[in-house]
Amino acid sequence: MVGVGGIRRLRARAHLARQAPVGCWLDHRSPRNRSSDRLDDPLAERCPVAPRRCERRSGSSGARLMDPFTIACLCIVGMLLMIAIGLPVAVAMITASAVGMYLTAGSGFTLTTFRTLPFATASSYTFAAVPMFVAMGVIAGSSGIVADVYRSADMWLARVRGGLYMATTCASAAFGAVNGSTIVGAALFTRIALPEMIKLGYDKAASAGCIAAAGTFAAMIPPSITMVLYGVLTSESIGQILIAGIVPGILTALVYLVGIAIFVRIWPDWAPPTQRHFPLKTRIASLKSVWPIAFIALIVVGGIYSGLVSPSAAGAVGAVGAIVVIMVTGRMSRHTITSSMSEAATTTAVMFFIVIGGLAFSRLLLVTGFIGDTLGVIQDLGLPAWVLLMALVALYIVLGMLMDPISMMVMTVPVVHPIVTGLGYDAIWFAIIMVKLIELSCITPPVGLNLFVVAGAGRGKVTTRQVYTGAIPFVFLELITLGLLLAYPEITLWLPTVMMR
């Protein structure tokens, strides 16, 4: 059962770590614990527009017409209804937040929030890592250096049955070290690997499923845009979250390799017996194509781990490093640079819009006291913390089938993160669990984002139904990895602990 100390830690964390970018201090306590209409927290005086109690009084009776917790619940329902009728997630979150803030804190606070929040988000130094990581991945992918890594992996694994699946897994893991976007990886390897797989007689569904699943490595292996967004939403250390993803990312790749070796024996039609062989000299020579990816990954991850650069600076260093690499290898072109910058700008703009909505929604939950009330309800249930954690995991698996990953994270993390940390779980460990659930949501039908990307990029070669079918075995591999991370937190926390010494 959650103790009083857990609730106090949660409320202290929400009050200090989640304060508004404009400098407002909000009274996030449960409305049931407030005894007057004024905010009795002395720190509330720092807010330029002091939030007022969300209660309207009728005549002299002083009867409360609407409780702040009720307003928060109605705003959540309204947001879900707007999403259900087809409004963009960002629009739904911003609209619900604006209405809730107006009813809770008044027009002055609402206008101040939406006047300052977009600028505060767009000018955030931390968020600057997002366009840099996107540009780095797109430059590396469009220049051809990733295709060279894939061919090298194929040469080394050519004699193994299912070698192309394994080569795709290894090359995707390597690309994940310089690419922060799952959809970029899925689209790229659909163009690189899928034609070769089909040519050699590999099962189309399994090939498409493998590519879609391997593309999710970019969410776990740093640099990861998903991890940066999580850090922005929770005010946790982005550097520690990125470093914490290294070992789980490697573990995921190893589970995939073992799983593929088992699958091709259970279903022989997945891959025909191989007759290909490359001389040792050729295979060794192919390793020289790995150095560009290794160099970029080293300066990014090594810089963060050593503390020489911040995550945001590491993104800039990585993007410049990618440009230097394609210059040295003679692959630089005007089209590569302009298309990479254009894609980075477009992707970042979309994410900014969603994150602004998520931060506004998070502020609504604070000012209404929704998080504190929710934890109070959880305490009243008297359930063990691990039961509640498993319930959250199950909920996220279901949500992953119905929502796109970024929207799911932005909508739920402001509520779930403080509750989980209030239960006593390590914040960095849960961040990695959350990222793993995001990975899983990318390949769970019917709304798995990577499934649509592969189906679109492979149009004419595979059908959407084949992509869905082929991804199912890899969903089980993701669940196995998730189980290991849940059972053994040391897998996640070992490297961040070493880094902090």
167-205 tens-digit pLDDT: 999 999 999 999 888 888 899 999 999 999 999 999 999
353: phi then psi, degrees, rounded to nearest 5 = -60, -45
Element (H, E) at 97: helix 89-105
Nearest to 326 by CA among 497, 137, 156: 137
CA distance 111 to 6: 34
Phi, psi for 30 (deg, rounded to 5)? -60, 140
Report the C-alpha dihedral over residues 159, 160, 165, 168, rounded to 10 degrees. Answer: -60
Does residue 55 surpass a pLDDT of 50?
A: no
Q: How far apart are CA 265 and CA 260, in angstroms?
A: 9
Beta strands in 217-337 (DSSP E): none
Cβ proximity of 337 and 323 under 8 Å:
yes
Q: What is the mean pLDDT of residues 440-460?
A: 88
- Calculate the CA dihedral of residues 301, 415, 401, 191 and round it to 10 degrees: -20
Structure tokens at 36: 């007057």
Nearest to 364 by CA among 64, 40, 78: 78
Contact 458, 190 (CB under 8 A): yes
* DSSP annotation of 57: E
CA distance 260 to 475: 12
Average pLDDT over residues 39-63: 37
DSSP string computed for 277-304: ---HHHHHHHGGGGHHHHHHHHHHHHHH
Dist. CA 446–CA 444, nearest whole Å: 6
d(Cα 208, Cα 155) in Å, to the nearest integer? 21
pLDDT tens per residue, range 332-382? 888 878 887 887 788 788 888 888 888 888 888 888 888 777 777 777 787
More confident residue, 378 or 455: 455
Run of H or E including 247: helix 246-266
- Position 66 scores a pLDDT of 75
Res. 62: pLDDT tops 80: no
Tell me which residue of 245, 37, 270 sits closest to 166, measured CA to CA. 270
Residue type, 395: L
Looking at this protein, which amino acid is placed at residue 307?
A: G
Query: Are 234 and 19 in contact, with CB atoms under 8 Å apart?
Result: no
Q: What is the pLDDT of residue 342?
A: 84
Where along the chain do its domains lie?
Answer: 127-348+450-487
**CA-to-CA distance for 188 and 375, rounded, in angstroms?**
43
pLDDT at 385 over 90: no
Distance of alpha carbon 140 from alpha carbon 323, whole angstroms: 8
> In terms of Cα–Cα distance, which of 104, 119, 120, 106 is closest to 366?
104
> Across all residues in the chain, what is the average pLDDT?
82
Assign residue 183 a region: left if phi > 0, alpha if psi is -120 to 50, beta otherwise?
alpha
To the nearest whole percent, how much of the chain has pLDDT over 70? 87
